[in-house]
Amino acid sequence: MHRISWKTLLCASCAAAFGASAFAGESGLLFSMSANPRADFAQGDPIPNFADQVSAKKDASGSFVAIEDTATLAWHAAHHIYAQRGTLSFAWRARYPLGRQQFPIFRVSYGDHSSWDMAWLRIDWNGHGFDAFVTDANLARVRVSYRIATVPSPDQWIRLAFSWDETRGIRLYVDGHEVARKDTTAVLEAGLDQFGPHGRTISPHQAHALYQFARGGDLKNLKIYDHMLTLEAAVALAADAIPASETYPTRSLAQSDWEGEWRLRYGWNRPNDPPFYLTAPSTHIRLVPFTAAWDLKERMTNGNDGIAETTWPGVYNRSKLPGRDDYFELPDWNVYVEGGKSVTFDLPKEPWNHVEFQGAAFGKLTYLGTKGEKPLAERPSGQERTYYQFSDLEGGCLRFDNVVQETPIQELQAFHIAPGQEPLNEFALSYRVNASADPALYPSTGAVRDYIDGRYVADERSIVVALPDDAPLEKRDAKPQPSMPIVHVVIPNDFRYLRNRRQKGHFAYGWNNIEGGLDGIAIDLPALKVTPAMGGLIPLNIQIKDPIWPGRNLMDVSVSVKPGEARTLWLDTRDRLLPNDSALYLSIASASADFNAAALDGAKIRLVFKPRREALTEHIADRLDQVKDNYAWLVEEHTSDERFSRLRRLEAEFASLFQADPENKLGRLYWAELNPSQGWPAFTRPVAPKGIPAWAYLQTEDLKLVHRFVEWWIDKRQVAYGDFGGGISDDDDLTQQWPGLALMGVMPEKINKSLGALTDAVDRNGMITNGLGTIVTDYLHSYEEGINARAEDMYLNWGAPKTVERLMQTARAYPRIIETNTQGHTHIVSQLFSSTDVVRERQWGWAIPYSNLILHPAVLLAEYNGNPAMKALVLSVADGFLAHGRKDASGKLVFPEEVNAATDEARGRLGPGSRGVDALVQLFWSAYHLTGDEKYLAPIDAVLDPAPGRGLALMNASLLTQLETRSKGWGAKILADLDRREAEAKTAHRPPGFLLGGENGAVNDARYFAWLLRGDKRYLEDLFADEVQLGTQRMPLVTEGHWWTDRVEVPNALLQRTRLGGVATSRGLFAQGNLISWRFAGASDAESVGLLVHDPRPDRFTVEVYNLSNKPIEAVMTGAALRAGIWTMAGEGQKEKRFAFGRGRSLKLHFKPHETVILHFALVEAGPDVSTLPDLGIGPEDVAQGAEGIDLTVHNLGSVASKPAFARLLDAKGKVLASAAVPVIAPPLDNTPQTVRVHLPALAQAVKTEVVMDGEEITRANNIAVLPHP
C-alpha cells in the first residue's frame, strides 16, 4: 500500500503558486478562496485536506460555500498562513438565527501541541458579537472581544478580518471597521497544520464538528496575507475590493522592535547572559537524553521531545493563563488536578553540565543525586530561553519546581560540554557549505526546501547546500533576498539524480544503504566576519532536524564565538540510522544582524558514522519511545487517516524503528494495535494443567490479567488527591471498569477505596454543582464530569448514605433539563447544559440517544428504593420517545434517532449504528425492568433485530435467556454468523491472532451467546484464550504506555457475564444486569475459582464451580438483579436448601479443592420488591465524636417511612455498650435527604456503631459504621 509521507503531502518544490497570474496584484496574498472549496489562489495546495458536507451554492447574494452543522472543511496551513504575523479575512453569514450560545466561526491549528484541540487561532461568535485570539508559544492567548450593536440577521453577510503581529499585537475588523485591538508583544512563532471554518477541532490528529460544536454557516471570499493589514486594506476587503499594495515588512535587527522579537525568541534578550562561549578550538557537545520525565506518577511525553510546540505540563482547559479559559468550558484532560507544579527528569548514568530551557515556566532547578539535593539555578519569569552551566554532575535526576502551576516548559535538554573532537576512528562523509550553489539542482532536497518555505516567513528562508568536493553544482540565478540572521543548511542524501537531468559523469556520494549509523555531526565554523552582538560575542543557535520529521529537533543548542575565531563543534547527537530518501537538514541562527549565508560559506560539515550495530541501541530506544509517546496521544481519537500529520509522523517513526529492528517485540505490539487487520504477533495459548477444566483455567487466567491491569493503575497512577492523571472526567471513564472486578471478588476493598477517592476528588475539584456539572458542556461530557463516578460508586456501596444522597442531588436537578412539551411528551431539552445554564437554541435543543446517559442516577434510584419521582421520570422520558414510533412501508415499527424537545420534530432512524445508541437501550431496558411492560422493548428490537450479536453486547442483562420469545430468532442469527466467521478463519489465509484484529470483541460476544444457546464449553475456552492473548499482549500498552485514561482497557464484560450472570456496569452501559456478586475469604481466592452462571434469569439460574486450588475456599454469594423471596438451592448429592434471597441478601458457600460443583437456584415463593422496603443507613462520615459523646446522623434512604429503631454502640466482640432510640424518619420522596441526629455516650471500648430496625430493609450493609480513631 502506498504510504503518504510528510514529503508527499507538501507541495513538493512548488515552482509557482496555484492561480498566481490572476492574483499577481495582491501583495502578500498567500491564499484566496472565493466560493468553492478549491482555492482560486494558493501558494501551496489549493485542494482542501478535508471537505465533507460542504458544497458550492449560489443565491441572490452570489456564490458561496455552504457548511453544514457537522461539516469538516480544512486546508493545509503550510505556505498559506504563518504564526508570526498575518491577516485572515472572509465573509460569513449565520444562515439561521444567532443567539447567546457561542460557537467557533474559524480556526487555525498548531502543527503539534499539548492541547487537545491544538487551536492556535480562533474567531468565534461569542453570544453577543465576536471574539478572536492567537496563542503564544506559552499557551496564553492574545485575545480581543467585541459586542455588536445589532445581532446580524441569518441572511446578513458579515465581513470579518483579523490581523496579528508578534511586535504589535492583534486587530479585529468587522465590516471594515476596527472594533477591537490589543497592542502587545508576544512570541507567536510556531508550526501550523490546518485551517478552516467552524467545527470542534481541526488539528493534526482529528477534524470534526460534533458535540456542542455542531454548528455551520456560509463562507466566501476567504483570503490570507503574510502581514498585518492596515485599516484601509480592511476597508477594501470589506467591500470585496483588492487592497492597495502593501508588502511584508522589511525586518532588520537595526530596529528595536524586530531586534527585540528576534532576541526574545532565541534567549539573547539578556545582554549579560550570552550562550556558552567556545573557548577551545574544538568542543564536544553531547546531548544527554532524559530517560523519562514524571509529573506526580505520570510519564510525561512532552517538554523534552524536540518539538517546541508540545509542552509540559498538559494543557488545563479550565486555565488560569491569560485569555485561555473561555466560554467553551472543556474538561481538563490528560492532567492531574495538582499536576504542573513539579516535573522530574531521569538521566542516564553519565556526566552532564549544561541545561537549556525554553518556555515561560519559572522556578527552581534542582539536582537529585546519590548524596541528596543540590540547587542548580533559579529561573526568572518573562523569559523564553535560558542556559545554565555548572560543574559536572553524574546521572541522577533533574527536578523543576514551577512557581505558577500551568506555565509551560517547551523544551528542557541536558548536555555535556567539554573540549574535544569527533572520533577519528569512525567513517565520515565530508561536505562544505556552498552559498552560491543552487539547492534546487538536487531533488532530494526538495521536500526539505518546501518544508522551510511552508513553515518559515519569507525573510527566514535563506537556504544553502553543503556539498562534497567535486560535486556537480549550478550557480543560483536569483540574488539573495534580505534575510534575518538564520541559515538553513541542507545536505543532499545522494547526487545520482539531478533536476536538470543532464549527464554529470559518475559522481556518487551519500549515505544510502550505508553500513553505519550517524554518531553525530562535526562542524568547522569559519572565522566569522560579523559584528558581535553580546559583549563581544556572536551568539549562535544550532538546530539539527530529525531526518524523518523536520518539525522535531535531534539537537537544539546555543553557543557563542568571537569574530575571527574559527571553531570546531562536535555535536554528539543520539545515534540515528539515516533514511535513504531524505536530505539532512540543520539551521544556524545568530543575534548578529550581518550573519547570513555568505558568512557560513566554506564551513565544513562532517557526518560521522559508527558501525551500524553500535548505533542500534540508541536509535531503537529513541524511535520506540517516539512510537509509544505519539501513540499515547493518538489513541484518544483513534486516528487512522493519513491526512492527519500526527499519524504520518507515527508511521515514519514505525518505519525507522523497523528499519533497525524489524522484529522489535514491543514495536510489533504497537503496530498490531494500529493495524489489527494484519493480526497480532504469535502467541502460545496457555494450556490447562492436567485434570483442570480448560474453561476454568483460562477464565481465571483472564481474571488475573484484569486484576493486574486495575491494580497497576491504582498503584502506579492514582495519587493522594484521588485522580489518575487523565483529568478526572476521563479518569472516571477508566474506573467504570472497577465495579465489575470488585463484584467478582477481586480486591474489593482496594477497588472500593480507589473509586471512593476518585469520587471524593470530583467534589473537591468542584466539578458538580447542585447535582449537575459545573461547566456548560455537552450530553456526554456533562455525564463524565463526575456524575458517572458517583453512579459507579453505587454498585460497590449499595445503600451507603453518602453515595445515595449524591445521586439524589442529581435527581433534584432533573427538572432543569427534562420537561414535558406542549404535545405532552417528556424529553431532555438540551444537548448543552450545566447546573446554571441550559442552552435550548435550534441545534442544541435536540434529544439524541447519547443524552440518556444523564439518567444513570435516576435509574439507580428507581432500582434501589423505587423512588416514585425517579420511576415516573424514567418512564415518562421513555414514553416521550415511544410516542415518535411509526410504521415504515413494510409495517415495521421504527423510531427516530433524535427528537427536538420544544417542537417535537423527529429525524433520523434508530438502528444498531446510531451514535450513542447504547445509552438509549439502557433507558428502555430499565423501563421494562421497572414495569414488565413489553412496549418498552420496541426500541430495543429496532436495535437488536438487524444485528442481534452487536445489540445484545450492549445489554448488561442476559436478554437471550430473559426474553424467550425473541431468543430463538436472535440466537439463530448469532449462531449462523459465528459459524460463518469461524469457518472462514479456518479456511482463509489469515495471519496469527486474526480474530484479535478488530473482530475479536464481536466474535467473543458471539461465542458467549453460543455457549448459552448450545452449552458447548469449547466456545468459552476459545473466548477466554483470546482474551488472555489480548490482555497479555496489550498489557504493556495500556499500562506503561501511559495512554489517555479513558482509552485503556482490559475487557472484563464477558468475565462478568460468565461469573455474575450479567454485567454490573461498563462504560456507557448503566442498566445493571448482574444477578449475583462474590466475596471470598482469601485475597487470591477469586482467581482460584472458575465460575459459570448458566441460564441466567431473575428467578432462576445455575452456578457451575471449579476450585483450582489445593485448599477449600469459602465464598459469599450476594444477590443483585434478582427477584426477592424464598429460593431453593439444589445440586447433585446435596439436600435441597430453602432460604430468603434476592437483591442485597447473601449466602455462604464452601468449595472443595479440585471439585466441580453444580448448584441450581430457583425462586419458589415471591417476596416483596426490595425497593419498596424502608432503609435506615449510616456511614463513617455520619459519626461525629467529641469529648461529650458521639453524635450519629441516621438517614432514611428508602421511599417509605422508617420504623422506630435503635442506634447502638458495640465493642470489638459485638457486645452492646449503649443504645439510643431513633425516631421514625420520613422518606426522601423529593430526593432531599431525611435524617435525624442521635446522641450516644463516649466509651473507650466502643469500636463501631449500628442502627437496628425491626423488619426487613432494602439492605443491612449500611447499618454499621466504624468509629474514627481518636
pLDDT per position as a tens digit, 1086-1103: 999 999 999 999 999 999
Residue 501's pLDDT is 60
Question: Would you say 788 and 779 are in contact if contact means Cβ atoms under 8 Å apart?
Answer: no
Question: Would you say 956 and 1069 are in contact if contact means Cβ atoms under 8 Å apart?
Answer: yes
Q: Residue 1182 belongs to what domain range?
A: 1173-1266
Q: At what angle do helices 1018-1038 and 665-674 cross, to 10 degrees?
A: 110
> Which DSSP state fits 546?
E
Asked if residue 573 is part of any domain, the answer here is yes
What number is the average pLDDT over the span 327-347?
Answer: 93
Sorted by sequence, the CB contacts under 8 Å of residue 1246 that are 6+ apart come out as: 1190, 1209, 1210, 1211, 1217, 1218, 1267
**Of residues 1194, 1195, 1191, 1206, the one with CA closest to residue 1240:** 1191
Residue 25's pLDDT is 67
> Is the pLDDT score of 7 beyond 70?
no
**Same-domain status, 433 and 551:** yes
Asked if residue 801 is part of any domain, the answer here is no
**Of residues 774, 777, 809, the one with CA closest to residue 791:** 809
> Is the pLDDT score of 644 beyond 50?
yes
What number is the average pLDDT over the span 1148-1160?
Answer: 97
Residues counted in the chain: 1270
1: confidence class by pLDDT, cuts 50, 70, 90:
very low
**Same-domain status, 530 and 540:** yes
CATH of the domain at 1249: 2.60.40.10
The pLDDT tens digits for 585-601 are: 999 999 999 999 999 99
**Same-domain status, 153 and 215:** yes
The pLDDT tens digits for 971-1002 are: 999 999 999 888 887 776 555 454 444 456 78
**Same-domain status, 126 and 170:** yes
Q: What region does 381 belong to: left with phi over 0, alpha with psi -120 to 50, or beta? A: beta
> Is the pLDDT score of 1159 beyond 70?
yes
Asked if residue 682 is part of any domain, the answer here is no
Sorted by sequence, the CB contacts under 8 Å of residue 243 that are 6+ apart come out as: 26, 27, 229, 230, 232, 233, 236, 237
Q: State the residue for C-alpha cell 535526576.
A: 397
| 3 state SS of 303 | coil
Asked if residue 287 is part of any domain, the answer here is no
Residue 524's pLDDT is 98
Percent of the chain predicted with pLDDT > 90 = 90
276-277 and 549-561 strand pairing: parallel
Of 1119, 1136, 1171, which one is at a domain's C-terminal end?
Answer: 1171
Residue 656's pLDDT is 97
Residue 997's pLDDT is 41
> Which DSSP state fits 831?
S
Asked if residue 639 is part of any domain, the answer here is yes
- In order, the DSSP letters of 864-900 are HH--HHHHHHHHHHHHHHHTT-EE-TTS-EE--SEEE
13: confidence class by pLDDT, cuts 50, 70, 90:
very low
> Is the pLDDT score of 559 beyond 70?
yes
Asked if residue 156 is part of any domain, the answer here is yes
Residue 996's pLDDT is 46
Question: What are the residues facing 796 on neighbouring strands?
Answer: none
Distance set, CA 653 to CA 621, 627, 656, 878 (Å): 12, 6, 5, 50
Of 986, 1002, 1035, which one is at a domain's C-terminal end?
Answer: 1035
**Same-domain status, 86 and 192:** yes
- For residue 1019, the number of C-alpha atoms closer than 13 Å in the C-beta half-sphere is 20
Residue 957's pLDDT is 97
Cell numbers placing 541:
543557535
**Same-domain status, 499 and 609:** yes
Residue 929's pLDDT is 96
Distance set, CA 1007 to CA 470, 965, 967 (Å): 69, 21, 15
Q: At what angle do helices 748-764 and 787-796 cross, to 10 degrees?
A: 150
Percent of the chain predicted with pLDDT > 70 = 96
**Same-domain status, 272 and 150:** no
Question: What are the residues facing 847 on neighbouring strands?
Answer: 899
Cell numbers placing 971:
440466537
Distance set, CA 808 to CA 22, 295, 772, 790 (Å): 66, 36, 11, 11
Residue 988's pLDDT is 62
Question: What are the residues facing 668 on neighbouring strands?
Answer: none
What number is the average pLDDT over the span 201-216?
Answer: 94
21: confidence class by pLDDT, cuts 50, 70, 90:
low
What number is the average pLDDT over the span 457-474?
Answer: 95
The pLDDT tens digits for 112-150 are: 999 999 999 999 999 999 999 999 999 999 999 999 999
> Is the pLDDT score of 891 beyond 70?
yes
Residue 678's pLDDT is 87
CATH of the domain at 119: 2.60.120.200
Residue 990's pLDDT is 56
931: confidence class by pLDDT, cuts 50, 70, 90:
very high
Question: Would you say 700 and 1088 are in contact if contact means Cβ atoms under 8 Å apart?
Answer: yes
The pLDDT tens digits for 941-964 are: 999 999 999 999 999 999 999 999
**Same-domain status, 240 and 219:** yes
Q: How many helices (H) and strands (E) does the chain have?
A: 25, 64
**Same-domain status, 1213 and 1258:** yes
Name the CA radius of gyration of the chain, rounded.
Answer: 34
CATH of the domain at 373: 2.60.120.260
Residue 65's pLDDT is 98
Q: How many domains does the chain have?
A: 6
What number is the average pLDDT over the span 694-715?
Answer: 98
Asked if residue 600 is part of any domain, the answer here is yes
C-alpha angle with apex 797: 793 to 799, nearest 5 degrees? 120
> Is the pLDDT score of 901 beyond 70?
yes
**Same-domain status, 564 and 644:** yes
**Same-domain status, 1154 and 1253:** no
> Which DSSP state fits 1130?
E
**Cα(163)–Cα(134) distance, rounded to whole angstroms?**
10
CATH of the domain at 1109: 2.60.40.1180
The pLDDT tens digits for 800-858 are: 999 999 999 999 999 999 999 999 999 999 999 999 999 999 889 999 999 999 999 99
Cell numbers placing 1043:
495512554
Of 384, 415, 446, which one is at a domain's C-terminal end?
Answer: 415
369: confidence class by pLDDT, cuts 50, 70, 90:
very high
Asked if residue 166 is part of any domain, the answer here is yes
Question: Would you say 299 and 290 are in contact if contact means Cβ atoms under 8 Å apart?
Answer: no
Residue 497's pLDDT is 80
The pLDDT tens digits for 728-767 are: 999 999 999 999 999 999 999 999 999 999 999 999 999 9
**Cα(435)–Cα(446) distance, rounded to whole angstroms?**
17
Q: What region does 831 belong to: left with phi over 0, alpha with psi -120 to 50, or beta? A: alpha
**Of residues 350, 353, 375, the one with CA closest to residue 365:** 375
Q: What is the mean pLDDT of the chain?
A: 94
**Same-domain status, 601 and 658:** yes
Phi–psi pair at 345, nearest 5 degrees: -105, 125
Residue 325's pLDDT is 84
Distance set, CA 3 to CA 454, 643, 655, 978 (Å): 21, 11, 11, 34
**Cα(230)–Cα(204) distance, rounded to whole angstroms?**
32
The pLDDT tens digits for 262-309 are: 999 999 999 999 999 999 999 999 999 999 999 999 999 899 999 999
